[in-house]
Amino acid sequence: MPQVKVTIQRGAGLHARPAAEFVKLANRFAAASSVRLNGRQANAKSILGILSLGANRGSEVELEVDGVDAERAMTALRDFLATASE
């Protein structure tokens, strides 16, 4: 399973609108994906799971992706988190 650590650069972290955009992006892929922060893990395709992490800008999260399109999913999700946005 590909794993990568990424520091969240988005202005608000993964709260409300950015979390919804992240989940929508994750759902475009068949691969199973998860996000880990501070010992907690959430399904990247679950808005409630992502919101429950409380991931702020500057938080280092670990992405884990597994499935037929894992590489494309990993790249898209990593880039989403690592790109600064207001």
69 phi and psi angles, rounded to 5 deg? -110, 35
State the Cα–Cα distance between residues 86 and 40, nearest whole angstrom. 26
State the Cα–Cα distance between residues 61 and 42, nearest whole angstrom. 11
Domains defined for the chain, CATH in brackets: 3-82 (3.30.1340.10)
pLDDT of 16 higher than 60: yes
- Show which residues are catalytic: 15
Query: What are the pLDDT digits (tens) for 17-67?
Result: 999 999 999 999 999 999 999 999 999 999 999 999 999 999 999 999 999
In this prediction, residue 50 carries a pLDDT of 97
Whole-model pTM?
Answer: 0.93
In this prediction, residue 11 carries a pLDDT of 84
In this prediction, residue 85 carries a pLDDT of 72
